[in-house]
Chains A and B, each alone.
Chain A
Amino acid sequence: MNAPAYNFAYLDEQTKRMIRRAILKAIAIPGYQVPFASREMPMPYGWGTGGVQVTAAILGPDDVLKVIDQGSDDTTNAISIRKFFAKTAGVATTTATEDATVIQTRHRIPETALSENQVLVYQVPIPEPLRFLEPRETETRRMHALAEYGLMHVKLYEDIARFGHIATAYAYPVKVNARYVMDPSPTPKFDNPKMDNCPALQLFGAGREKRIYAIPPYTKVVSLDFEDHPFEPYRFNAPCALCGAENSYLDEIVTDDKGGRMFVCSDTDYCEGRQAAGHHGSLSAAPYKEKAQGGSNG
Chain B
Amino acid sequence: MTTIAELPPGFVDKVLSAQSTFRSVMDAMARPGSVQRIVPMAGTPAAMMRGTAAIALTLFDHDTPIWLDAQLTESSDVVKWLKFHTGAPVVQDCSIASFALISDGATLPALKRFALGSNEYPDRSTTLIVQVDSLAAGRGFELRGPGIDGVATLQAAIRPADLFERLRVNEALFPRGIDVVLVADDAVVAIPRTARVANKGS
What is A's interface to B at a CB cutoff of 8 Å? 7-8, 13-14, 16-18, 20-30, 32, 34-35, 57-61, 141-142, 144-146, 177, 179-180, 199, 201, 215-220
B14 touches A20 (CB 8 A): no
Interface class of chain B by DSSP: loop
What is B's interface to A at a CB cutoff of 8 Å? 14-16, 18-20, 22-23, 25-26, 29-31, 58-61, 63-64, 98, 118-123, 125, 127, 146-149, 174-175, 177, 179, 192-194
What separation, in Å, do the CA atoms of A293 and B102 have in the docked complex? 72
Task: Provide 30 A-B residue pairs closer than 8 Å at the C-beta atoms, listed in order of the A residue.
Answer: A8-B16, A13-B15, A13-B18, A16-B19, A16-B22, A17-B60, A17-B61, A21-B59, A23-B26, A24-B25, A24-B29, A27-B30, A27-B192, A29-B175, A29-B194, A32-B122, A32-B123, A35-B121, A57-B22, A60-B20, A141-B120, A199-B149, A201-B26, A201-B30, A216-B30, A216-B146, A216-B147, A217-B31, A219-B147, A220-B146
Residues of B within 8 A of A18 (CB): 61, 63
B25 touches A146 (CB 8 A): no
CB distance from B59 to the nearest CB of A (A): 6
What separation, in Å, do the CA atoms of A218 and B148 have in the docked complex? 6
What separation, in Å, do the CA atoms of A144 and B26 have in the docked complex? 25
Q: Which of B18, B64, B147, B149 contacts A16 (CB 8 A)?
A: B18
CB distance from A284 to the nearest CB of B (A): 39
Residues of A within 8 A of B125 (CB): 25
Q: Which of B58, B120, B177 contacts A142 (CB 8 A)?
A: B120
A34 touches B146 (CB 8 A): no
Q: Which residue of A lies closest to B125 (CB)?
A: A25
CB distance from A90 to the nearest CB of B (A): 11
